[in-house]
Amino acid sequence: MAIVTRWDNKKKTIVMLEFESEWSWDELEQAVQKADSLIGSVEHFVDLIIDLEGTSIPKDVMSAAKTLLASGSARPNEGARVVVGANGAMRTIYQTLQKTFGGTVEGREVLFAPSLPDARAIIRGLALDR
């Protein structure tokens, strides 16, 4: 499996999506469905860590993003999305998606963290404000 989706902690408050070096849009869709299922299995807020360290984005990002964003809205208990390991090109792609799909991306914004410990710290801080 090129994308591993699992609980990141015993309290089931964080879902981790770990990307291997190569993955496909179909695998991402399956990972998102699994994450959605995990989030839906509990009633409390669940944040997501998306670990892209050492990976690259497959081709046809705009078409795949449009399909993925059209697949439904975030769950009511879905918290923050923190991306780890996004290089400059990935951040530029995200900014382009925000501009292109504005309203569809609204409420699904992502934060960026330089490392996994930093991502967890960001989530702990956000949880204090809920």
Fold of 3-114: Transcription Regulator spoIIAA (3.30.750)
Q: Please enumerate in sequence order all residues whose Cβ is within 8 A of that of 6, keeping only pairs 6 or more positions apart, or say none.
A: 15, 16, 18
The predicted model scores a pTM of: 0.83
What percent of the chain is predicted at pLDDT more than 70?
A: 82
Q: Tell me the average confidence (pLDDT) per consecutive run of 10 residues in the chain, 130 residues long.
A: 92 95 86 93 94 82 63 79 85 74 64 94 88
Site of tokens 């050492």? 54
The three state secondary structure string of 76-111 is CCEEEEEEECCCHHHHHHHHHHHHHCHHHHCCCCEE
What rounded mean pLDDT belongs to the chain? 84
Are 51 and 93 in contact by the 8 Å Cβ rule? The answer is no
